[in-house]
Amino acid sequence: MLHVNLKGFTGALSLSAAACMVANPAWAQSDYPSRPITLITPYSTGGDSDMAARNFSAVAFKYFKQPVVVLNKPGASGVIGSEQGRTAEPDGYTLLLSRPGSQAILPAIAPTQTKYKWDDFTAIGLLELNPYGCYVKGDSPYKTYKDFEKALREKGPSMNYGTAGTLTTNSMGPRVLFSELKLGGKVPTQIPYKGTGEATSALLAGQVDFSCSSIGPAFGLINAGNLRALFVTTPERLKSLPDVPTAKELGLSKMNQITGWSGISGPPNMPAEIVEKIRKVMEETGKDQQWISATENAGSVPYMKGPEEARKFIAGQFEVYHDLGKELDIIDKTK
C-alpha cells in the first residue's frame, strides 16, 4: 500500500501557491499590456488636453498593440480627473494626460484644493507644447490689442472672460496681464467652465468678452474669422498667424511665462519595467508622421521627452507658478 505524507504534500502545495502569487506581478509586467489602456484627461472635450489625448491614442495603439481609450473626467479645474489618475492601480492600465493647471499651477498656488502634490505622480513623458494667446470674438469692437487694453483700463470691472477653470493657464494668463497693466482691483470677472472648449463656445456665443488659452483649440476659428487673436506668448510670431504680435512686442514680457503643455503621467510607485515600456511607445509615437501632423494641425508643437526630462520640466513649471503666485499675492487665497 502506498502511504502519502499529506502534511508534507499540503505544505508543498502552499509553498507552490505562494510562489505563484509572488511571480504573478512579474508575469503581468512582462505581458503588459494585455488589455486596453485608459487615458484620463482631466478636462472636457474640445480643449487642449482632449485634443492631445485623442491625437496620442489614435497612434499609440499601434505600438501598444492595444486600444488606448480616452476618458474625459472634468471638474474642479482638473483635480477630479487627476485624483482619479493618482489613485489608480500602478499597473499601467490607467494613465493621466497631465496639464499645467492640474499638475503645476494648483499644487503651487492652491495646495489646499488638491489631495496631491506636483510630484505625487510617476512622470512618464511629455508630448507637446501649446502656444498661448488671448483672443476676442471675430466681430468684437476690439480690433487690436491696443483697443482691448484701452477697454480694460476704462471699463475693466464691467467685462468678463471665460476660462477652463480657476488656476489653469486660462486663468493665470489674464491675471498676469492685469498685473502688468497695473489694473489693481479694477479687473474683469472670471467665468470658469469645465474646459477650454466650453469657454470658447461661450465666447462665440457672446457670453464673455474675451478668453486666453492655448491657441490650438481656437486656431481654426481664428483662421475662419470667428475669433480674433490679440497676441501670442511665443518668443517669435507664429508662422501660422504671422499678423498676430507677440506679447514681447507689446511690452508684456511677463506673459512669456505662460504656456500650455501636455504629458503622460501615472500613479505613484509604477514598476520601472512598465514605465520603460510606455516610454518606448511614446518614443515610437513621437516619430510617427500621423501623430506629428495631427499635433501640428492642432496648433501645438511636438515635444516628446522621457521620464527624467518630464519630471524636471514639471518641477520647473511648479516653481514658475509658485513664484507668480507669490508675486500676484494669490497663494492659498483662491477658493
Decide: 216 and 223 in contact? Cβ < 8 Å. no
Same domain, 218 and 311: no
| The pairing of beta strand 68-72 with beta strand 37-41 | parallel
Q: Residue 211: which CATH number?
A: 3.40.190.10
Q: Residue 284: which CATH number?
A: 3.40.190.150
Residue where a domain terminates, one of 257, 288, 309: 257
**3-class secondary structure, 288:** coil
**3-class secondary structure, 237:** coil
Same domain, 218 and 277: no
Residue where a domain terminates, one of 223, 257, 291: 257
Same domain, 238 and 305: no
Does 24 map to a domain? no
- The helices-and-strands tally (H runs, E runs) of the chain is 12, 11
User: Nearest Cα to 213, choosing from 282, 305, 136, 143?
Assistant: 136
The range of the structural domain enclosing residue 179 comes to 132-257
Per residue, the 3-state secondary structure of 76-137, as one string, reads HHHHHHHHHHHCCCCCCCEEEEECHHHHHHHHHHCHHHCCCCCCCCEEEEEEEEECEEEEEE
Same domain, 271 and 241: no
Does 16 map to a domain? no
Does 141 map to a domain? yes
Residue where a domain terminates, one of 257, 274, 296: 257
Does 180 map to a domain? yes
Does 26 map to a domain? no
Q: How far apart are CA 35 and CA 222, in angstroms?
A: 40
Same domain, 246 and 143: yes
**3-class secondary structure, 183:** coil
pLDDT score at 2: 39
Same domain, 79 and 164: no
- Can you name the residues that pair with 260 across neighbouring β-strands? 130
Same domain, 265 and 120: yes
Same domain, 84 and 191: no
Phi, psi of 270 (to 5 degrees): -70, 140
Predicted model pTM:
0.80
**3-class secondary structure, 304:** strand
Please name the residue that has the C-alpha cell 473626467. 73
pLDDT score at 239: 85
Q: What is the mean pLDDT of each run of 10 residues along the chain (335 residues)?
A: 41 43 49 97 91 97 98 94 98 97 95 94 96 96 98 98 92 96 96 92 97 89 96 90 95 92 98 98 98 92 96 95 92 65
Does 238 map to a domain? yes
Per residue, the 3-state secondary structure of 193-214, as one string, reads CCCHHHHHHHHHCCCCCEEEEE
Same domain, 81 and 195: no
Q: How far apart are CA 221 and CA 290, in angstroms?
A: 23
Does 27 map to a domain? no
Does 25 map to a domain? no
Decide: 187 and 233 in contact? Cβ < 8 Å. no
**3-class secondary structure, 142:** coil
Same domain, 197 and 311: no
Domain count along the chain? 2
Same domain, 236 and 294: no
Same domain, 186 and 235: yes
Decide: 299 and 216 in contact? Cβ < 8 Å. yes
Using CA atoms, how far residue 323 sits from 136, 248, 257, 317, 319, in Å, is 29, 20, 11, 10, 6
Please name the residue that has the C-alpha cell 484620463. 40
Contacts of 88 (CB under 8 A, 6+ apart): 94, 266, 267
